[in-house]
Amino acid sequence: MNTLIAENIRDAKLSEIERLARIWFDGWQDAHARIVPAELARLRTLQSFEERLRTALIGVRVVEAAGELVGFYFLKGTELYQFYVSAHARGSGIAATLMADAEAALRERGVHTAWLACAIGNDRAGRFYEKCGWSRTGTVTEDLEVAGGTFALDVWRYEKSLR
C-alpha cells in the first residue's frame, strides 16, 4: 500500500495547469486509450487537456501530497465531470479523500443525486466508484467535448444519493 497522505485540498492555480494536464493526460492514457475508439484517443492530446483545464480552472480542485499535486476533480452541474489521481498516488487513500471533497462540494451546491460517466471497460475506476458508494445505473451515450465539437461515446453512468 502506498503511504502518501493528502496534505491539502484546494482550488487550482493558473500556474498549475501544465502539471494538472499531465496528470489528466497520463491518467486518461492509462485508463482509456485501449478501451475507446482510436479516433477519440487521437483527439485526447496533452494540449487538449491543457485547454480544457484553462476553461474550467475556476472550478478545479486539487489535492497535494508530499508537497506535490497528485490529483484533481471538477464538477459540471450535478456531475462529477472529471476525477483523476496520479499513478503514484493510487492505492494511498488520496482518491477517497478527494472523492469526499467532491461529494461535499456537490452537497454544498444543493445536489441531491450526483452522477458521473465512466468509460465502458474502465473496471478499476468502476470498482473505486462502487467502493465509494456510487451505483452503476446503466449505459448512456455522452457527447464528449473534443476540439471543434463533440464525440458520442457510450459510457457507464454512476449515481449517488447525497442526502
Tally of structural domains, the chain = 1
pLDDT score, position 4: 63
Series of mean pLDDT values for 10-residue runs along the chain (163 residues) = 73 96 97 95 96 93 93 97 93 92 97 97 97 98 92 98 95
Query: The dihedral of CA 113, 93, 81, 104: what is its sign?
Result: positive
Q: Is residue 78 part of a domain?
A: yes
Domain membership flag for residue 3: no
What pLDDT is attached to residue 106?
97
Q: Which residue blocks in 9-93 are alpha helix, DSSP H? A: 17-32, 38-43, 46-56
Contact between 70 and 23 (Cβ < 8 Å): yes
pLDDT attached to residue 147: 86
Please report, for the domain that includes residue 113, its CATH number. 3.40.630.30
Angular region, 102: left φ>0, alpha ψ -120 to 50, beta rest:
alpha
* Local structure of 110: helix, strand or coil: coil
Q: Which domain holds residue 114?
A: 8-161
With CA atoms as reference, report the closest residue to 82 among 141, 38, 27. 27
**What is the C-alpha separation between 31 and 18, in angstroms, rounded?**
20
Residue 6 has a pLDDT of: 61
